[in-house]
């Protein structure tokens, strides 16, 4: 069998130096004692103790590290090598697979000794608006394929005033992509504090249809 074709570059990778402030900014916020784990608190509320959680597009590790500290079994996956290095330096106990979501096949996870089915997939902090152009449905489908029975996906992204190198993702298009990927929206909110739906930010909890 030949090698798989290379995956298209993510919008994050194409953003280059324009995306590079993220890791340092969060490191500064953490040093200042800021609350940077709102997403993780909601994620923690969605699962029982000791759940298997995949942090998909884990960045510098802030969410996965918090969930690990709550006693969950966390696998992080992050394709940006600079962020993988930062995450491993800050939280050596958090296992980070240097892989992008489309590369998270059962074979890849098995060879990394990681679970192949998760109670919760966390895909927050605009990951979905940074994936490679045209891969949104494939990414959502891949995440859905990694769910254990009853498992769910927590996603969150800006609807307005997002990062400059991210795409705009209108709620109608997102909802159509969710359906095409064989998923359903169980809940939608305007933020991780469960504020009502608004046109600024989209938090959604997805499950297999
Ligand atoms: C703004 S950062 C957020 C990181 C982290 N989730 C957080 O909230 O701190 C966006 C992340 O999306 C990741 N990303 C973009 N496309 C991806 C893909 N196809 N698979 C995995 N991660 C991806 C980038 O590498 C980057 O780490």
Condensed to tens digits (0 to 9), the pLDDT of residues 35-52 reads 999 999 999 999 999 999
The CA distance from 204 to 12, in Å, is: 21
Does ligand 1 have an atom closer than 6 angstroms to the CB of 87? Answer: no
- Which CATH number describes the domain made up of 11-208? 3.40.50.150
| 104 within 8 A of 77, measured Cβ to Cβ | yes
With a 6 A CB cut-off, is 125 part of the ligand 1 pocket? yes
Ligand 1 contacts CB of residue 96 (under 6 A) = no
Q: Could you tell me if the CB of 62 is within 6 A of ligand 1?
A: yes
102-153 confidence digits (pLDDT tens) = 999 999 999 999 999 999 999 999 999 999 999 999 999 999 999 999 999 9
pLDDT on residue 2: 54
- Give the chain's mean pLDDT: 96
Atom of ligand 1 nearest to the CA of 130: 15
- Does the beta carbon of 126 lie inside 6 Å of ligand 1? yes
Instruction: Specify the ligand 1 atom closest to the Cα of 131.
Output: 16
The pLDDT of 148-163, averaged and rounded, is 96
For 86-100, the pLDDT digits (tens) are 999 999 999 999 999
**Burial state string for 94-122 with b = 16 or more CB within 10 A and e = fewer than 16:** bbbbbbbbbebeeeebeeeebbeebbbbb
Count, residues in the chain: 209
If you average pLDDT over residues 72-101, what whole number do you get?
97
């Amino acid at each position: 069998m030949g090698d798989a074709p290379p995956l298209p570059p993510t919008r994050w990778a194409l953003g280059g130096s324009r995306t590079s402030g993220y890791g340092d900014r969060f490191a500064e916020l953490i040093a200042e004692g800021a609350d940077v784990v709102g997403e993780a608190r909601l994620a923690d509320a969605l699962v029982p103790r000791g759940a298997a959680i995949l942090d998909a597009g884990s960045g510098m590790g802030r969410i996965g590290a918090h969930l690990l500290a709550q006693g969950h079994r966390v696998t992080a996956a992050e394709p940006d090598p600079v962020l993988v290095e930062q995450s491993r330096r800050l939280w050596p106990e958090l296992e980070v697979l240097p892989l992008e979501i489309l590369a998270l096949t059962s074979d890849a996870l098995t060879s990394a000794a990681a679970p192949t089915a998760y109670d919760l997939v966390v895909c927050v902090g605009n990951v979905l608006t940074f994936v490679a152009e045209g891969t949104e449905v494939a990414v959502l489908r891949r995440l859905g394929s990694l769910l254990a029975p009853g498992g769910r996906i927590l996603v969150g992204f800006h609807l307005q005033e997002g990062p400059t190198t991210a795409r705009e993702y209108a709620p109608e298009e997102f909802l159509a992509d969710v359906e095409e990927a064989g998923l359903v929206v169980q809940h939608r909110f305007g933020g991780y504090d469960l504020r009502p739906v608004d046109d600024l930010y989209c938090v959604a909890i997805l499950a297999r249809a």
